[in-house]
Structure 1
Amino acid sequence: MPLRDHYGNQLSTMSQQARDHYDQGVRLFLGAEYGAAEAFEQAVQTDPGFALGHAGHARALMMTGDMPAAKAAIATATELASGNARDASHVAAFAALLSGDPAGARRLVKAHVLDHPRDALVAQMCTNVFGLIGFSGEVGREAELLAYTNALSPHYGNDWWMMSMQALSLCETGQTEASLTLMEVSLALNPRNANASHFKAHAQYEDGDIAAGRAFLDDWMTGYDSRAVLHGHLSWHQALWALHDNDPETMWRAVDAGVAPGAAKGLPINVLTDTAAIYHRAEMAGLTVDADRWQTLSDYAARFFPQTGQSFADMHAALSHAMAGEGDRLAYIAETAQGFAGDLVRLVARSWLAIARQDWALALEGLVTVMGSTERLGGSRAQRDLLELAYVNVLLKLGQTDEARRSLQTRRPVLSPAPPLAAMV
């Protein structure tokens, strides 16, 4: 009798022990818990011929930032999967992503889930704001993400992972009440699902519920392994809550313990984007960010993102270079930015330079064009509030207070009652 995984998909391994390790790896990976790479490694040590075990190992290794090992694992998976249609399709989708073809990977994922909707490791690649749809650079990506999870959800029933993915899609399309309701069910089924805790924090942010958000996340983070992929980003959420609650001491503790370079153990894209965002949002709120912090971050960005191409990272790298006074690094991004939203990155980079020089009129000139399609740059609505607040702050610096208030009220009403902007006081 062929073995099947937790989601009912037939597996090529005949080893029940390998299957059990694989299921554990899938559960840990989907819940953004620490230990997925180790579980998948045990699966392939038990059965070296287990193609999807190697593919899972590659997925988990990528999320630790070990790209050479991930590519080696997917190469092994590709070779082993050649005689099995589902395995080959499963492996091909991730191989495309690892080879630098996200658009091709997206097409392969969407084709694969038509035949295998419960193949969660493949389906996962197009979920989340950091997935292949979220980073597509296209207008309307939130609606597409919701359509994608709407189509998959009926196949998963009472599954904690899919519920958390659907809840995020609802949150990013403004349906926060439905999002929170579904997230609570997901967390009840798996309280250690870091994705659900993360997306609940987003929904609470969209509701403007600072006290509840801080209390929930502070409690949930207790015991969450600092090596887990979302630890640094959840620390950013804690820092952001503290900033909005006028608690700078707690904000800096969160930044220095889990967000900034040297403290965070997550992926470089999260370290860069989260740190740049909290630094500039802190400055706009009236706090002082030491020049050494910006310089360290600029050096980090230059090390991990020396070439352009990942627009969300490039936008934040440009901010770090502008604030550190690294003109050559900034100019490279402003002149050569490629990727899914490179045209917008070039405009934002020039605006960051103008902001650093306090040339508010020039900064406004670039941001006005960008604000109509910020979703193309990637990230969640909470993350793109960096741009919303920067735009409003520039208007305030130019004395356009009424227009600044109008922008918040129409574009981000959740921030309107008490915007974290010193210039608004």
Structure 2
Amino acid sequence: MHHDRFGQPITAQSARAVELYDDAVDRMFALQPGSDALVDGALALDPEFALGHCAKARTLAGLGDNAGARDSAARGRDLAAHCSERERRHAEIVYRVLRGDSGSALDAVRAHAVDHPRDAVPISFALGVYGLYGFGGFKDFRSRQVELLKRLAPAWGNDDWWFLASYGWALVEAGDAETGIPMLDRALELKPDNANAAHGRTHGYYEQGAAEEGEEFIEAWLPRYDRGAILHAHLAWHQALFALQRGDAERAHAIYLDSIRPAVSRTLPMFTLVDCASFLLRAEVVGTVADPAQRRELVDLVEERFAKPGIPFVNAHIVMAYGGVSDRESQDRIQREVAKLLERDRQPCGPVVADVCSAVAAYSKGDYRHAADTLARALPEVERLGGSNAQRDVFIDLAVSAHIRCGAMNAARNLASERWTRRAGHLDETWFDRLCAVQNQRP
């Protein structure tokens, strides 16, 4: 009987196939390229390796091949019928996730984690800010992740880099950076090329308001990371965001042009859209207007890959992208289609997505009062959209700016200070004064 690196029995005909599978899973968890070749090698040795096909499904999804991912997941599920109970449940979860059956997949993950707390691959689907919890429409998804990981912790100890990175980042996002950051540091000590831990550590700097230190951390870590890896552009986005928030717009835009914009990004289209749209809008909020060609380039990506709205968090960023080129007709169309999805119960976050889309569109049209009022209503529910604290901060930034631009200065200051006194202290009075200066310079 073979065992995977987590100590679990695994059905395979070749010890070497299991070794390659373990290496592929490690690369997936570290967000490093190369897992596709490793898992292909495992399947060449054992074509009926059920969990190998499941790993291939996840690898293909990470490369943007959703149809291939679904096919591999179905193959893994079929083959797992002749394997152990754990492997059957593992394969079923992968199948449900990649078929888009998120609700039942999450239920299955929670049950599976009780019986098999070290089965990392299916459990990992519930983690992160784009996972089953993050995109599940939960107002408290951060605390739900922490609760799950807390229950699993006794089975993992203190020396597994994947678990430490996952738990540490979840704690940082939930407001416990004091506990989470040492876990992330330990995860990086155990595996320095772990991009997942580097990403979580970057969020730790952000939440603690350490913009300069965070920027320096990324500047030191990122050159060792393959530009074609899935998280390279996003880590560069964090670097650019720190620079922008410090007031160095020139440096921020240089990073955007070099590593983030659609023409150079080599990550998933969804990641590119979200990062580019929010960066360009935040730059506008602090008074830096992007080259129209940069905005057009982003809209070209939207029209090529996001013809129809889908994931709520993404929908809000589609509206941002169209706002950058003053395409009111497309903004209105997206809002109408989001409303139809809500009617069909296809937006798990509920009506907050409609409010956010409406506010973003209103801001781009210069209707700052509507944007301010709508965002004031939406902000208490905006966590339902998913994404990280740093990503959702774009909606706070927009709300502060909208209040300033419609003359509601006390409300604007209250929104900004409520954030800087709790977290992200680098977005302080100096940052607030920059937004006020932008308003004073407007004609």
Smaller-chain TM-score range?
over 0.9
Residue 423 of structure 1 is matched in structure 2 by 435
Which amino acid letter does the alignment assign opposite residue 23 of structure 2? Answer: Q
Residue 357 of structure 1 is matched in structure 2 by 365
CA distance in structure 2 between the aligned counterparts of 1:248 and 1:174, rounded to whole angstroms? 28
Which amino acid letter does the alignment assign opposite residue 179 of structure 1? Answer: G
The answer to whether the Cα contact below 8 Å between 1:286 and 1:421 also exists between their aligned partners in 2 is no
Corresponding residue to 2:404 among 396, 407, 411 = 396
CA distance in structure 2 between the aligned counterparts of 1:299 and 1:344, rounded to whole angstroms? 27
The answer to whether the Cα contact below 8 Å between 1:298 and 1:326 also exists between their aligned partners in 2 is no
Residue 114 of structure 1 is matched in structure 2 by 114
CA distance in structure 2 between the aligned counterparts of 1:236 and 1:387, rounded to whole angstroms? 17
Residue 19 of structure 1 is matched in structure 2 by 18
CA distance in structure 1 between the aligned counterparts of 2:311 and 2:118, rounded to whole angstroms? 29
Which amino acid letter does the alignment assign opposite residue 355 of structure 1? Answer: Y
Q: CA deviation at 1:239?
A: 0.8
Residue 41 of structure 1 is matched in structure 2 by 40
The answer to whether the Cα contact below 8 Å between 2:20 and 2:42 also exists between their aligned partners in 1 is yes
RMSD of aligned C-alpha atoms?
A: 1.4
CA distance in structure 2 between the aligned counterparts of 1:287 and 1:420, rounded to whole angstroms? 15
Q: Deviations over 1:266-298 (max 9, x none)?
A: 111110000001101111111111222222212
With over 3 angstroms needed to count, the CA separation of the structure-2 counterparts of 1:115 and 1:27, relative to structure 1, is same
Q: CA deviation at 1:257?
A: 2.1
Residue 165 of structure 2 is matched in structure 1 by 164
The answer to whether the Cα contact below 8 Å between 2:228 and 2:267 also exists between their aligned partners in 1 is yes
Which amino acid letter does the alignment assign opposite residue 382 of structure 1? Answer: A
1:279 counterpart = 2:291: no
The answer to whether the Cα contact below 8 Å between 1:232 and 1:259 also exists between their aligned partners in 2 is yes
Residue 378 of structure 2 is matched in structure 1 by 370
With over 3 angstroms needed to count, the CA separation of the structure-2 counterparts of 1:33 and 1:293, relative to structure 1, is same
Q: CA deviation at 1:332?
A: 2.2
The answer to whether the Cα contact below 8 Å between 2:316 and 2:360 also exists between their aligned partners in 1 is no
1:295 counterpart = 2:296: yes
Residue 440 of structure 2 is matched in structure 1 by none
Which amino acid letter does the alignment assign opposite residue 367 of structure 2? Answer: D
CA distance in structure 2 between the aligned counterparts of 1:110 and 1:306, rounded to whole angstroms? 34
Residue 344 of structure 2 is matched in structure 1 by none
Which amino acid letter does the alignment assign opposite residue 137 of structure 2? Answer: G
CA distance in structure 1 between the aligned counterparts of 2:429 and 2:201, rounded to whole angstroms? 22
Residue 247 of structure 1 is matched in structure 2 by 248
The answer to whether the Cα contact below 8 Å between 1:163 and 1:186 also exists between their aligned partners in 2 is yes
The answer to whether the Cα contact below 8 Å between 1:74 and 1:95 also exists between their aligned partners in 2 is yes
The answer to whether the Cα contact below 8 Å between 2:413 and 2:432 also exists between their aligned partners in 1 is no
Q: CA deviation at 1:424?
A: 2.4
1:407 counterpart = 2:419: no
The answer to whether the Cα contact below 8 Å between 2:240 and 2:253 also exists between their aligned partners in 1 is yes
Q: CA deviation at 1:15?
A: 0.5
1:3 counterpart = 2:11: no
Q: CA deviation at 1:342?
A: 5.0
CA distance in structure 1 between the aligned counterparts of 2:67 and 2:377, rounded to whole angstroms? 39
Q: Deviations over 1:97-147 (max 9, x none)?
A: 111211111111112222111111111111111211111111111111110
The answer to whether the Cα contact below 8 Å between 1:333 and 1:346 also exists between their aligned partners in 2 is no
Structure 1 unpaired stretches of 5+? none
Residue 326 of structure 2 is matched in structure 1 by 325
Q: Deviations over 1:72-98 (max 9, x none)?
A: 211211221112222221111111111
| More displaced 10-residue stretch of structure 1: 343-352 or 126-135 | 343-352
CA distance in structure 1 between the aligned counterparts of 2:379 and 2:363, rounded to whole angstroms? 16
Which amino acid letter does the alignment assign opposite residue 240 of structure 2? Answer: A
Which amino acid letter does the alignment assign opposite residue 126 of structure 2? Answer: C
CA distance in structure 1 between the aligned counterparts of 2:88 and 2:307, rounded to whole angstroms? 33
Residue 203 of structure 2 is matched in structure 1 by 202
Structure 2 unpaired stretches of 5+? 342-346, 438-443
CA distance in structure 2 between the aligned counterparts of 1:170 and 1:365, rounded to whole angstroms? 32
State the TM-score, normalized to the length of structure 2.
Answer: 0.93
Paired residue secondary structure (2:332): helix
The answer to whether the Cα contact below 8 Å between 1:187 and 1:196 also exists between their aligned partners in 2 is yes
Q: CA deviation at 1:412?
A: 4.1
Q: Deviations over 1:200-220 (max 9, x none)?
A: 000101111122111111110
1:74 counterpart = 2:73: yes
Which amino acid letter does the alignment assign opposite residue 356 of structure 1? Answer: S
| More displaced 10-residue stretch of structure 1: 246-255 or 131-140 | 246-255
Which amino acid letter does the alignment assign opposite residue 120 of structure 2? Answer: A
CA distance in structure 1 between the aligned counterparts of 2:351 and 2:297, rounded to whole angstroms? 27
Which amino acid letter does the alignment assign opposite residue 317 of structure 2? Answer: H
State the TM-score, normalized to the length of structure 1.
Answer: 0.96
Which amino acid letter does the alignment assign opposite residue 101 of structure 1? Answer: D
Q: CA deviation at 1:250?
A: 2.2
Paired residue secondary structure (1:418): helix
How many residues are matched? Answer: 424
Which amino acid letter does the alignment assign opposite residue 32 of structure 2? Answer: E
